[in-house]
Amino acid sequence: MSPDIPTYAPSDEHEMLRATVRELAEAKIAPYAAQVDEESRFPQEALDALVQNDLHAVHIPEAYGGAGADALATVIVIEEVARVCASSSLIPAVNKLGTVPVLLAGSEELKKKYLTPVARGEAMFSYALSEPEAGSDAASMKTRAVRDGDHWVLNGTKMWITNAGVSQYYTVMAVTDPSAGARGISAFVVEKDDEGVSFGAKERKLGIKGSPTRQVILDNVRIPADRIIGAEGTGFKTALTTLDHTRITIAAQAIGIAQGALDFALGYVKERKQFGKAIAEFQGVQFMLADMAMRLEGARQLTYHAAIKSERAMNGESVPDLTFVSSACKCLASDVAMDITTDAVQLLGGYGYTREFPVERMMRDAKITQIYEGTNQIQRMVMARQLLK
C-alpha cells in the first residue's frame, strides 16, 4: 500500500495474530466449549492454552513482562477466542478490564507488583464495581474504605464479578468520602488471599456458564495504604475512563460470538437439503445470510475503529470522541450478535434448538453482551449525552 494512503485496517501482523489465535482456539479451546457450558465449569484448558502461547493478557506493556500488544490486537484475540467459546474469551477480556485502572492511574510500584504476575500467567485480574443495589447507578455504591494509619479497611459486597474466586487480584471501587458523592470514590487493589475476602455462591446463568460470576464479600479487609490506585477520590473517574477502553473488548466478544454462529450456519445451509436442493439455494435463506454478514462487518469495522482510538488515548493523545465510539461499538456489536445468533438458530430449524449444535449456546452467550459493562440502554444514554454536549 502506498504510504500516503491513510488506513486503520488491521496490519499484516494483526492478520498473522488472527490466524495464530484461530488455529489455537479451534485446536485447544473449541473441543471443550460444549462441556464447559454443560458442566458450568471454568475453562481451564483454555487458560492453559492461552498462557502457554502468551495470549491471556496481550495488552500488558513490555515494561511489565507483557507482549505490549495494541488495542486492536487485543480485540482480535478476544474475537477469535469468542468465536469458539465465549466463556474462554473472558480470560483476556477481564484481565484487561481488571488491569486498565492500574495502567491508567496506578503508581509505578503498583504496576510492577501486579501487572508482572498477570503478564506471566501466574494470576488473573477481575474488576469489582457493581453492587447488589448499585448496578447502572454505580455511583450509589455502599462499599466503604476507611483509612487507618498505614492501611485501608474495606467493608462491603460487590456483585456480578466475572471470574470471581479464580482471579487472584481485584480492582475494587469503594467510598472513601461519603459526603462527596462520585468524587468520594477511590480505587484499590485487593488480593484473593487478603484476610476477610470471601466469595458468594456461583450465579446460575443463562450463558457464559464457564466463567464464574460471584459476589466478592469484603469483611474488614485490611490492606496497605499503597494499594490505592491513583489519588484518593479519583476512583469513579478511573472507572469511567476504564470503561471507555474496555467496552470495546465486549464488542470484540460479541462479534466473535456472532462470527462463530454465522460460520456454523453457513456450513449447515450448504449441506442441509429440503425440496431436493440445499437450503442455501433458497433466496429467503440467502437474504438472511447476507443481512447477517453485512451487519456483522459493520459492527466489526466500528469496533476496530474504536480500538485504534483507544490505543491513541492510552498513549496520551486527546481523543474527544472515544466515549461515544466505545459505547457505539459495544451497543451495535451486542445487538447485532443477539440478532445473528437468533437467526443462526432459525436457519438450523429444530436442530438449532438442541444442544447437539453450538448455535443455541452462542445465542445464550450473546445475550450478556447487551447487559454487562453497561446495558445497551445506558450506552444509548451515554451516546446521547456526548452528542448533546
Among residues 79, 131, 360, 373, the one annotated as catalytic is: 373
- C-alpha closest to that of 46 among 10, 95, 111: 95
Pairwise CA distance, residues 379 & 331, whole Å = 6
- 15 tagged catalytic: no
Pairwise CA distance, residues 316 & 295, whole Å = 32
User: From residue 210, how far is each of 73, 88, 270, 276 by CA, in Å?
Assistant: 24, 7, 31, 41
Pairwise CA distance, residues 307 & 328, whole Å = 12
Active site residues: 373
